[in-house]
Chain A
């Protein structure tokens, strides 16, 4: 079983990397990019009986810092 975890900075937390990417896109001539937020994707290869609850627990304990980050879990 595989799971994919998306981790993003929460809304309201400044993302200077996303801002730098937005500026760079503008410098390359891509117009109309109003905002960029950068996050990370973590892919997990899990035992067959793993559940979404297990992955959520992993996110809460380690994969995301919930002070500044939100996460979503996709089971595949």
Chain B
């Protein structure tokens, strides 16, 4: 199993994500944003949290135009797995790999705390280690996590069971309390909360481990 973690100028969760992938048994390559090709044989691409390009223009907007992200898009288009966390989720919506956009938090404040997430579907490689309805504790750390999409898109996400996680107490104004969504082929997950920050006993919580383990198991059998 091979994972690639993209590193932009301003990424700050890239190494944490690599540690979480490795703990689940994956071999990890760090890939610089100026590279244009992913390493051969990559199964899963991680787009990490942070402040790519200083959040200039819009969060994730400049990163979405970087050379490597064109390869990430091609990987997703081929049916490859992609996990975008926090700023990575913003990058995935800016590229159009996932629908919608992340707006400024409704309360305007940067929020950094552990929140309750409800697992809305166990039908994906990312969430099959949980049961639908489970409530897990995962940290958030964002200023622009307020998920927005038009009504038709929201209805489609709901009808197609593509809402992966919702907040038990909405911290940021996100529509439908959305914390994470899946692509139509269920192989791309974008989420604002940080499962890689709840992946080791030293973090104070391990509710994110099941996500990485389930993903690794799915990639092994794929």
Contact = CB atoms under 8 A, between A and B. Distances in A.
Contacts of A13: 103, 148
Interface residues of A, number: 12
Given A16-B173, A62-B61, A68 B107 contact: no
Contacts of A14: 103, 106, 146, 173
Interface of chain B: mostly helix, strand, loop or mixed: loop
Contacts of B107: 16
A67 B173 contact: no
A60 B99 CA distance: 16
A70 B173 CA distance: 21
B134 to A, nearest CB: 30
A67 B57 contact: no
B106 A67 contact: no
Contact of A16 (B65, B104, B149): B104
10 contacts: A14-B103, A16-B103, A17-B108, A62-B61, A62-B65, A63-B57, A65-B61, A65-B94, A67-B99, A68-B101
